[in-house]
Structure 1
Amino acid sequence: MARTRLYRHGVLEAEGLPVREVARHRRDEGVMIWIDLCGPSQEELTALADDLGLHALAVEDALHAHERPKLHQYDTHLFLSAYAVRLDESSGHLAHAELSAFVTRQALVTVRPDDRFDVGLLTARWDESPGLAASGVGYLAHGLLDCVVDSHFEAVQSLDEDIERLEDLVFADRPNDVDMQRRALSLRKSLVTLRRVVLPMREVVNGLMRRDHELVDSTLMPYFQDVYDHVLRASEWTESLRELVATIRETQLDIQGNRLNLIMKKVTGWAAIIAVPTAITGFYGQNVPYPGSGEPWGFWVSTTAMLLLSGGLYATFKRRDWL
């Protein structure tokens, strides 16, 4: 299903018109159009490309999934691909929605392989600042990039909060190491995915701001610079979180090693304490006469020796923090 908008002299004139009808107005003076295609067939997109003069390579990239975020310049238009993301806080999994866009002097054509990208957020973003529509297609491109970059920023912010909670679990008295390892691995994978879609956006936004494209005028330039600033912050934040997750994992392993050493010290200490009465009783259990053999005082002497020696070892180990 296609969605369309038609602006004339910076004012929204029509919405929901057929694609062919909207495309016919692209050459009208002061007209700016938006066409959104969700899951189009190759024939549908090729027909629209013929009407708008879109390059065949760009059409091929729009139809193939898992393209890298990028910006390409052709003779008649710009082509960009990007990913909006959303973090599932319960599992730590990062879901992404791919989209492509053709940017001409008077039209923005967005192509989505599925409906995971919420177009309603995009149109709402445009409606929040109708006064910028007079700046042309750059206004539509800004709204699109703003939605995408905001999703990156929200995802990295949520990941930061999850990692803070993971830090608290590392120093818990009774940590669940299996769940913590699973959570840390899931967050690390999400950060790797986020890094792949965030870092290239610096080139995309910076490329659109170039003056030779004549897409961004003086009115829109501060808004694009704000988006670029968000891209840089999201990129730097993602890199720092990747290092933080690695540090948390190393800290967890160190704590596990320290706990294992503490357990080994305790086990060794108790083994030494138990070895003393074992040695005494084993010695007195020989089938030969010994001092006190068959006498009550012999039993009390051996018992007292076991208690004194074991107590001395316990005090020594306790003082050295072995127990």
Structure 2
Amino acid sequence: MARTRLYRHGVLEAEGFPVAEVSDHVADPSCAIWFDLCSPSPEELAMISEELGLHELAVEDVLQDRQRPKLDVYDSHLFLTVYGERLDDETGELASTEINVFVTPNALVTVRDNDLFDMREVVKRWDANRDLAKYGVGYLLHGLLDVVVDGHFTVIQALDDQLEDLESDLFDGRPSPALQRHTFALRKSLVGFRRSALPMREVVNSLIRRDLHVVEPGMAPYYQDVYDHVLRIAEWTDSLRDLITNIRETHLTQQGYRLNDIMKKLTSWAAIIAVPTMITGFYGQNVPYPGSEQPIGFWTSSLVIVVASAGLYLAFRKRDWL
């Protein structure tokens, strides 16, 4: 089901009307139209392309999954690809929604590949800034990008919090397989998020360019604010990438340390056990030795075993090997 809105002279005039009626208003320069499609069929896209004169390459990009976030400029319209992101707090997995946007002089068309991105938040953002509706499509596009970037902020904050918890767990106790799986899931999510968030710098920066005539002077500060947020997210993402790399290296270092500690203990006990093994081995020799077949020999060898073993044990304990 498509969602639609019609603004005339900066005032919301209608919403929820059929997409087929868009052609009745798109030729009116006083109108700004928005409609949203979720997982449309190729036939529906072809109809919209014919109504708005969209470029065939842009329509082809909509039908192909996992496009890179970008801004393409065509003669009659702009084409944007951005991603709405959500993070599962329990599993650390990232859920993405590809949002393709067609921007014409008086129409904004959003096409989503799934319904994980809630367009109601975008509508609320528009309603909260009704005084900016006079700027038409630039106002509609800003509301969409603002919600997308705010969603990125939410994800990067959640990733930061989970990485801090992960860092605490790493030093507070012995890492478990579950902790290792969670680390891998967070690293995978961060890599995927970085692919979506970093190109947004180019997208928003290109929109601010005056030669595109998308952002009117009155909307320029609002787009600049979005751009500042995008830069903060990019810097934050890079810092978290360094952090998770350090966590992984620390985990490997801890594993090497524990292995070395185990080897020291095994070596120490082997040295201690070797003492009675060596001394008692004399009893199996075929030649006489001092104290052979006499009580003094037994007590002497036993005393040597106890003293030598105790001495080795204390020496290894002093070096923290045991």
Segment drifting more, 187-196 vs 20-29: 20-29
- For residue 138 of structure 1, what is the aligned residue in structure 2? 138
Show the 5 A alignment for 1:223-302. Answer: 223-286=222-285, 288-302=287-301
Give the aligned residue type for 1:233: R
In the TM superposition, residue 187 of structure 1 has moved relative to its aligned partner by: 1.4
SS in 2 for 1:195: helix
In the TM superposition, residue 319 of structure 1 has moved relative to its aligned partner by: 1.8
In the TM superposition, residue 194 of structure 1 has moved relative to its aligned partner by: 0.9
- For residue 125 of structure 2, what is the aligned residue in structure 1? 125
Give the aligned residue type for 1:49: S
Give the aligned residue type for 2:74: Y
Give the aligned residue type for 1:199: L
Give the aligned residue type for 1:76: S
Distance 1:113 1:321 in 2: 60
Segment drifting more, 149-158 vs 287-296: 287-296
Distance 2:42 2:157 in 1: 38
Distance 2:273 2:47 in 1: 87
The yes-or-no answer on 1:67 pairing with 2:67 is yes
Contact 1:23 / 1:33 at 8 angstroms: preserved in 2?
Answer: no
Distance 1:173 1:5 in 2: 55
The yes-or-no answer on 1:179 pairing with 2:152 is no
| Cα RMSD for the two superposed structures | 1.7
Contact 2:7 / 2:136 at 8 angstroms: preserved in 1?
Answer: no
- The count of corresponding residues between Structure 1 and Structure 2 is 322
**Which residues of structure 1 form unaligned runs of 5+?**
none
Distance 2:102 2:173 in 1: 55
Segment drifting more, 296-305 vs 252-261: 296-305
Distance 2:148 2:24 in 1: 29
SS in 1 for 2:80: strand
Distance 1:287 1:56 in 2: 97
Give the aligned residue type for 1:280: I
Distance 2:277 2:64 in 1: 76
The yes-or-no answer on 1:8 pairing with 2:8 is yes
- For residue 103 of structure 2, what is the aligned residue in structure 1? 103
Show the 5 A alignment for 1:37-56. Answer: 37-56=37-56
Contact 1:101 / 1:111 at 8 angstroms: preserved in 2?
Answer: yes
Contact 1:63 / 1:113 at 8 angstroms: preserved in 2?
Answer: no
Q: 1:74 to 1:29 in 2, by over 3 A?
A: closer
Distance 1:250 1:135 in 2: 51
The yes-or-no answer on 1:86 pairing with 2:86 is yes
- For residue 206 of structure 1, what is the aligned residue in structure 2? 205
Segment drifting more, 2-11 vs 58-67: 58-67
**Which residues of structure 2 form unaligned runs of 5+?**
none
